[in-house]
Amino acid sequence: MTSKTPIDLPQPVTTGGLPLMDALRARTSTRGFNTREVPAQELSNLLWAAFGLSRPHRGTGIDAPGCHTAPAAHNWQEMDLYVATPAALYLFEPESHRLDPVLASDIRAYTAHAVQPFVLDAPLILIYVADLARMDDASEWDKEVFPWADTSFMSENVYLYCASAGLATVVRALFDRAALSEAMQLRPSQLVTFSQPVGYPR
Ligand SMILES: Cc1cc2nc3c(=O)[nH]c(=O)nc-3n(C[C@H](O)[C@H](O)[C@H](O)COP(=O)(O)O)c2cc1C
């Protein structure tokens, strides 16, 4: 991966995989990663499972049909999926199914916590970010609750894909959100919910 150019991901393979009930049985949190890079096809499938388009995008809001592999409260579609690698920080663009570079630096350390240094072995760290400015007419309660709920569906998709593909992952809430937000140069309306390292098991 280079750090300044968008990454056009290969077409995701959206059929097959482990049967659902087998994937549910195999789903687990793993806290030991191999530094081996995840191949482009695997990354493509993973991101599609997390938050790819399963139907055409026909707008947001409760009157429009949904379009992602994960559901979204009120169809606000406030979630973005960032991918941190040793080379750069990228934003996943579901419609073009590519990774757009955001920062040409390794910000993975900001998702770690002193007690969980294993995170830094993972070649990919998914970072779930809500943009509260997209939640039209949402109450304060909506803004407090739904980004976390919407993240959880995406995270479970990642867990199930990893179970199917023999990848290791663990969803993580334990990190300094303010420091990570600053490192990612997020806008004030953006909220980091969870992070989720992905890689091969150690
Ligand atoms: C909201 C949430 C936050 C979590 N945060 C962390 C975390 O910061 N670090 C970690 O190692 N595991 C974290 N976990 C993973 C849980 O510890 C794990 O799911 C639990 O031990 C059950 O294991 P299992 O996922 O293998 O079933 C989190 C899980 C959830 C649902």
pLDDT over threshold 90, residue 164: yes
Closest Cα to atom 25, ligand 1: which residue? 29
Cα distances (Å, whole numbers) of residue 88 to 2, 125, 161, 179: 8, 11, 23, 17
Tokens of 65: 């049909």
Give residue-wise pLDDT tens across range 47-99.
999 999 999 999 999 999 999 999 999 999 999 999 999 999 999 999 999 99
179 CA → ligand 1 middle, Å:
21
pLDDT band, very low/low/confident/very high, at 3 (cuts 50, 70, 90): low
Q: Are 118 and 32 in contact (CB under 8 A)?
A: yes
**Which atom of ligand 1 has the smallest separation from the CA of 155?**
31
CATH of domain 16-201: 3.40.109.10
Closest Cα to atom 5, ligand 1: which residue? 172
The binding-site residues of ligand 1, defined as CB within 6 angstroms of any ligand atom, are: 28-29, 31, 116, 170-174
63 CA → ligand 1 middle, Å:
35
Cα distances (Å, whole numbers) of residue 7 to 90, 98, 126, 138, 152: 9, 6, 16, 34, 26
Separation between Cα atoms, residue 1 and residue 85, nearest integer Å: 9
Q: Can you give the pTM of this predicted structure?
A: 0.97
Domain definitions of the chain by residue range: 16-201
pLDDT band, very low/low/confident/very high, at 114 (cuts 50, 70, 90): confident
Output the average pLDDT for the chain: 96
CB atoms within 10 A of CB 61: 12
